[in-house]
């Protein structure tokens, strides 16, 4: 049985304490999640525009993106990006005269992988939010002489965002948790760091509990933030 004082030391910031590595790993997790989600938002907007296009080819492209990505396990997508990207990079380097195997940087690959997955879900969130727009809102803008750009900026984007926000909040939570899968490509995020700590201290239960608590906490705090934005954006719609 572990004494509380010893536990504190293990998790602390003093000598033999895992506090600092864990904290910086949590930072990597949040950083990867934010960048991945951000990339996903960009992809989501593009994907939604493709799927809402009047023409068949862009629609098919968007359709393929969301169906394939959502139908394949996330961890496989991460592997495919990592190993596929590394082979590709190695090929280029070898052509350039640099021999040996080159692997992609873990963080960049991870962000892209999380982004691509998140983007597929965000595509659906943006698409269905756009479809909920009342056509009269757009007509009123056109009838006042608004240009396409103005209409987009002043009417369509704010209202679509309002409708998309609840779904985006859920997708953010998924993206946050998905970053733990990046441990498989060697990114020292929260899960991998706790794994290392658990291995070297033989205290797996302690460290994995800490990791779980950390994920939960980050999720709660960011969830609150999202809720606040949501409340703010909901204000006009309340009677």
Residues in touch with another protein (CB under 8 A): 134, 136-137, 139-147, 150, 154-155, 158-159, 162, 233, 235-239
Closer CB to another protein, 138 or 226, in the complex: 138
Q: CA–CA separation, 121 vs 87, rounded Å?
A: 28
Q: At 61, which helix (H) or strand (E)?
A: helix 56-71
In the complex, the smallest distance separating the C-beta of residue 54 from another protein, rounded to whole angstroms, is: 15
| 3 vs 144, beta carbon nearer another protein | 144
Please list, residue by residue across 136-174, b when 16 or more beta carbons sit within 10 angstroms of its beta carbon and e when fewer do. eebeebeeeebeeeebeeebbeebbebbbbebbbebbbb
Q: Whole-number minimum distance, CB 189 to another protein, in Å?
A: 37
Question: Which residue lies nearer to another protein by CB, 168 or 181?
Answer: 168
Q: How far apart are CA 211 and CA 203, in angstroms?
A: 13
Q: How far is CA 126 from its chain centroid?
A: 15
Q: How far is the CB of 162 from another protein (least distance, A)?
A: 6
Minimum distance between the CB of residue 150 and another protein, rounded to whole angstroms?
Answer: 6
User: Least distance (Å) from another protein to the CB of residue 239?
Assistant: 5
Q: How many CB atoms lie within 10 A of CB 102?
A: 16
Q: Which is nearer to another protein, 41 or 160 (CB)?
A: 160
Give the alpha-carbon dihedral of 14, 18, 22, 23, to 10 degrees. Answer: -10
Q: Which is nearer to another protein, 224 or 238 (CB)?
A: 238
Nearest approach in angstroms of CB 149 to another protein is 10
State which residue, 61 or 146, has the beta carbon closest to another protein: 146
Smallest distance, Å, CB 49 to another protein?
20
Cβ atoms 175, 33 nearer than 8 A? yes
- Closest to 196 (Cα-Cα) out of 78, 14, 79, 24: 24
Backbone angles phi and psi of 73, in degrees to 5: -55, 140
Q: How far is CA 116 from the centre of its chain?
A: 8
* 30 or 165: CB nearest another protein: 165
Q: What is the DSSP letter of 202?
A: T
């Amino acid at each position: 049985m572990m004494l509380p004082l010893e536990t504190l030391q293990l998790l602390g910031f003093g000598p033999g304490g895992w506090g600092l590595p864990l904290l910086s790993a949590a930072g990597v997790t949040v950083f990867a999640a934010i960048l991945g989600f951000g990339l996903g938002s960009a992809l989501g907007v593009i994907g939604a525009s493709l799927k809402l296009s009047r023409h068949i080819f862009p629609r098919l492209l968007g359709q393929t993106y969301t169906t394939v990505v959502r139908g394949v396990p996330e961890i496989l997508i991460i592997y495919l990006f990592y190993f596929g990207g590394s082979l590709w990079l190695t090929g280029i380097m070898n052509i350039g005269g640099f021999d040996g195997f080159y692997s992609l940087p873990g963080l960049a690959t991870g962000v892209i992988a999380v982004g691509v997955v998140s983007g597929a879900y965000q595509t659906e969130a943006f698409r269905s939010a756009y479809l909920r727009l009342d056509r009269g809102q757009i007509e009123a803008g056109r009838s006042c002489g608004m240009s396409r750009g103005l209409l987009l900026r002043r009417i369509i984007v704010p209202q679509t965002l309002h409708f998309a926000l609840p779904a985006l909040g859920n997708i953010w939570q998924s993206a946050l948790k998905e970053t733990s899968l990046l441990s498989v490509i060697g990114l020292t995020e929260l899960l991998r760091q706790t794994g290392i700590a658990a291995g070297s201290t033989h205290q797996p239960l302690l460290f994995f509990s800490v990791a779980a608590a950390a994920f939960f906490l980050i999720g709660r705090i960011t969830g609150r933030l999202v809720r606040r934005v949501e409340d703010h954006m909901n204000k006009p719609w309340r009677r």
